[in-house]
Structure formats: C-alpha cells, structure tokens
Structure 1
Amino acid sequence: MELSLKHQVGLMCVILLLPSLCSSQDSFTDSRATYYGSPDCYGNPRGACGFGEYGRTVNDGSVAAVSRLWRNGTGCGACYQARCKLEQYCDEEGTYVVVTDYGEGDRTDFVLSPRAYKKLGRNDKAAAELFKYGVVDIEYRRVPCRYEGYNIVFKVHERSKNPEYFAVVILYVNGAYDVTAVQLWQEDCQEWTEMRRVYGAVFDYANPPSGEINLRFQVSGSAGIYWVQSQNAIPSDWTAGAAYDSQVQLT
C-alpha cells in the first residue's frame, strides 16, 4: 500500500517519539552537546542520513546530528536521551532525539536541532541561558524508539528512476535496533541479493528486477542479529519519493 504525500506529511507532523519507561542502556555516558541554526527550529531535510523531510520533522523536529555515534551510517535512526549538567538551568528528563544527520562540534557527540536543545532547559528562561552557552556538558544514553500504531515504511529515494535505478531508506523502526543490511529478492535466481549502502541510511541497487520488489532488512539489537522480511511488496510501478507500508514492525 502506497502512502499518499498528504498522509506522509501528516505522519511526520503528528508522530512524537515516546520514550520507553525502561531504557535499552541503563547507564549514562558523559559528553557535550551544541546546536545548529535552523530557520524554523526543525531538522535538516538534506541531512547525511538521507531521510529527507522525515529527517526534518520526525519526533516533532527534536533530532540530532552525531559524530562518534554515526558508525558509518548505521547510527541513523537511533534514539537517545540527553540531559545537561547545569543544575540551575537543566531539566531532569532532558531531551529525547532521533539521529538524522552527521555533525561535529567542539568535542561534542550531539549537534542538536534548536527544538531539541531548548528541551534541555527546565523552562523557557533557562533554555535561553543554555543557548548563550552554545556548548554544554551532558550525559546521554540510548533509548528505544517508539512509533505507536505505525508500521515500518520503505521510502523510495528521490534519485531513483524506474526501472534503471532503485534506492530506498527504511523509516519508523521501533526499538533500539540498527539496520545493518538490506536485500532484495531475485526471482529468476531464487536468491536474496545484497543492496549497497550508498550513504547514511540509503541503500541502492542498479537495474533492479522487473515486477514487484520484495525486501528484507537485517537488524542488530539486544536479541542479536536477524532478518526481517516485509509482508508487502513494493509494486512494479513504484515511483521516486513514494512511501510504501511494509506491514511489519519490530517489538
């Protein structure tokens, strides 16, 4: 089932990342965080993960660029809790962010969107003081992503061209999983064929098979490494920029 552009934008605007009561990482790691400029305080649609508009608005724009946590693009889509250490200004819960970009600051692990950085503060006045600092000491931990009521979506990258070139990015992945590989089914060979990680979270394949495209992706998490197969094939008339419901979700 293809999601209409109106539906896609609607999901992006209304879905919030709901942190789990129990974290996938109990202990916090010390680091530093800064923020980047944005005309509307949201994320960057040209981020290095290749998420496009999703990377700008997911989690209500509370997103982050990372450096060490980038992990050659495997870190794209991971969710973190970060909280700063200036007691007079900082909120106890801090901010919850989705990784959508690569970025380096002054010995920082996180370059936050303005919306995410503001949430480090306990109120608007405190947040304004944090913005004056520019860089703050933080502690962070990885937490599960939560997209309640929504399946994983395959977004066909805008540079795709049917039938010569096919690229895809996987969105709305629940839990604390890394997508480590993507494969498509070759009916004539009766085998799964590896797609190339182009950059960030974008995987591609030149001269894809004709007809429907069946995908599966490999995830790595606390339960180990395993493959997840889409229950819904991408139709033969797929188009660049379209999003298709996989009809599966990780739990």
Structure 2
Amino acid sequence: MIRVFAKALSEVMNWSSMALSKSQTFSWWSTKPRMELSLNHQLGLVCVILLFPALCSCNEYFTNSRASYYNTPDGLGNPRGACGFEEYGRTINNGSVAAVSGLWRNGAGCGTCYWVRCKIPQYCGKGVQVVATDSGAGDGTDFIMSKRGFSGLARNVAASKELFKRGVVDIAFTRVPCNYPSNIKLRVHKSSKNPGYLAVLLLNVNGVRDITAVEMWQRGQKRWEPLRRVYGAVFDYANPPSGAILLRFQVGYGYWLPSNNPIPANWKPGATYDTKVQIYEKGN
C-alpha cells in the first residue's frame, strides 16, 4: 500500500513538473514563471498529502512474527489456560483467542487484545482480533491461536484449509483496544473461602494498557494494601477484612482506578461482581 501511494505521489509530482514546463512564459516586465495545475492534479496532490502520513502511521506499529494453532474439540479456547480464566478463556471473543509468549508478561498480558494478519496474499484476509488467554511458545512464534482464531486469518474457507496445512505462518500484529460492552467484572476464584482467603480475576478490561496491580482498602488501618499476583490474571489476599471489600486497579504503571461497587460481605467462590467502572481509551 505504501508503494502504491508513493507511486501516486511520484505521478502527481510529474504532473506538476509537466505543467510547469508547459506554462513557463516570460515577459519583459516579469522573470517569474507561471505555473498552472489542472483541478484534478491539485485534488490528487491534496489527497496524497493527507492520506500518506496516516497510512505510514498505521503500518508503523505492526510487529513481524509467526503464528500457529492448537487443537480443542470445538475449536475454541483452552479452559485450563495459564491466565486462570477457565470457561471465560474458552469462549471470550467468540473463541478467537491465543496463547502468547513474550506478550504474556508474567500474567499482566492476560486479557489483552491484538490484531493479527498473515502475509500470504492469495490466502490471507484483513486479519483477526484475538484475546490473550494463555501462555505458550513455539518455534519463533508469538501466537499459538485457537483454531477459530487461526481460521480468521484466511480470506475464505478454502484459504483457511491451506493455512491449516502449513501449520505455521508469517504474521504481523499490533495491540488494539479491547472493547467489551460491559463494565469490568470481578470473578471470585473457586479456590477462595469466605472468610479467610480471597482470590479474584479481572474480566472484560478495555483499553490498551495492562492491569499491573490490585489493592484492597483496609478500613481499620485506613490504607490500601496490595494483593499478590498468584499467576496469570489471578490476585489473592489472605485474611481479607470482614464486610464489603473495595478494590482498586493500577492501569499500566500510571493511575489507579477504584471500583465503584464493593464486593459484598457475603461473597461466594465462583460469583461474578460488576465493578461499575471501565477503561475508555484509544489505541495507537
């Protein structure tokens, strides 16, 4: 695409040169040449000037890598993934999910969204959005995708079969904002016990930045106390305070986002609670 616009820019510049050479006339009272461009040429030049920087910006943020896929009975995600999402990790994003390697970031990358496109013109379409739900590494691959996610790379069903035959394909990827229609949800992990031990996962986190830390408000000490990242997206706290529990989340390594809806005092393992907050930000 960049080459196409570069060619267009070159043609417009040639038009300009031709117009200049044909219209250079001099008179005894002026030594300045008169340059006349047709309306079409002027509009073409304006379009190239406006669109070319935007096109460069789009391509600038894609990273080259490779992608493969893994098998499940239904082609969806792995409910036993390293992020701890369980069934949520199997079905989120309609099952277009992936295990990632360096992008996992010790669990901080769990739930992040990426746009992935492959590089075989006759087989590859515009690409597919996948959600990171697991940790996994292959031979030089950043993504090991569910079959549904991997098939989304192809331009049609026949092309999808060709990609599956190859098994591993060259790709380019970029991080994109997750855009879930609901608020951030807190799920109490099934290992929790009330009272005595609380473990939670954050689900449906929008935006393009990781949740890097979670803290709990201690009413008695009137201060925030950090939760421990156990693994993946699971945070825990031993001997949490009785009563409703208020959490806040660090977005990237910047601001803290407090929940607007405390976990109720009678919380139960496996229950999901609405935080009544969400992150609203755009990507690159």
- Please indicate, yes or no, whether the TM-score normalized by the shorter chain is above 0.5: yes
**Deviation at residue 107 of structure 1 after TM alignment:** 1.0
Tell me, in whole angstroms, the C-alpha distance in 1 between the residues paired with 2:247 and 2:102.
29
For residue 92 of structure 2, the aligned residue among 58, 81, 85 is: 58
Retained in 2: the 8 A contact 1:24–1:142? no
Q: Which entry has the higher C-alpha Rg, 1 or 2? A: 2
What corresponds to 1:15 in structure 2?
none
**Deviation at residue 24 of structure 1 after TM alignment:** 9.6
Three-state SS of the structure 2 residue aligned to 1:203 is strand
What corresponds to 1:189 in structure 2?
221
Could you give the per-residue CA deviations for residues 85-122 of structure 1, whole angstroms, max 9, x where no partner exists?
1111000x211000000011121000000000001110
Retained in 2: the 8 A contact 1:165–1:204? yes
The answer to whether 1:153 aligns with 2:153 is: no
What corresponds to 1:237 in structure 2?
266
Structure 2, gaps ≥5 residues long = 1-56
What corresponds to 1:214 in structure 2?
246
**Deviation at residue 127 of structure 1 after TM alignment:** 0.3
The answer to whether 1:123 aligns with 2:152 is: no
For residue 169 of structure 2, the aligned residue among 136, 153, 161 is: 136
**Deviation at residue 132 of structure 1 after TM alignment:** 0.5
**Deviation at residue 202 of structure 1 after TM alignment:** 0.5
1:3-82 correspondence runs (5 A) = 26-82=60-116
What corresponds to 1:84 in structure 2?
118
CA RMSD of aligned residues (A): 1.4
Three-state SS of the structure 2 residue aligned to 1:116 is helix
Tell me, in whole angstroms, the C-alpha distance in 1 between the residues paired with 2:268 and 2:258.
21
Tell me, in whole angstroms, the C-alpha distance in 2 between the residues paired with 1:233 and 1:124.
47
**Deviation at residue 175 of structure 1 after TM alignment:** 1.0
Structure 1, gaps ≥5 residues long = 1-22
Percent identical among aligned pairs is 61
**Deviation at residue 185 of structure 1 after TM alignment:** 0.7
Q: Specify whether residues 211 and 24 from structure 1 end up closer, same or farther in structure 2 by C-alpha distance, changes over 3 A only.
A: farther
What corresponds to 2:134 in structure 1?
101
For residue 207 of structure 2, the aligned residue among 172, 175, 178 is: 175
Tell me, in whole angstroms, the C-alpha distance in 2 between the residues paired with 1:47 and 1:25.
31
Tell me, in whole angstroms, the C-alpha distance in 1 between the residues paired with 2:89 and 2:123.
28
Tell me, in whole angstroms, the C-alpha distance in 1 between the residues paired with 2:189 and 2:80.
12
Tell me, in whole angstroms, the C-alpha distance in 2 between the residues paired with 1:31 and 1:24.
17
**Deviation at residue 147 of structure 1 after TM alignment:** 0.8
Tell me how many residue pairs correspond in the alignment: 224
Tell me, in whole angstroms, the C-alpha distance in 1 between the residues paired with 2:147 and 2:89.
14
Tell me, in whole angstroms, the C-alpha distance in 1 between the residues paired with 2:188 and 2:59.
32
What corresponds to 1:250 in structure 2?
279
Three-state SS of the structure 2 residue aligned to 1:147 is coil
TM-score by length of 1: 0.87
Higher relative contact order (CA 8 A, sep 6+): 1
**Deviation at residue 26 of structure 1 after TM alignment:** 4.9
Runs of at least 4 residues off by over 3 Å: 23-26
TM-score by length of 2: 0.77
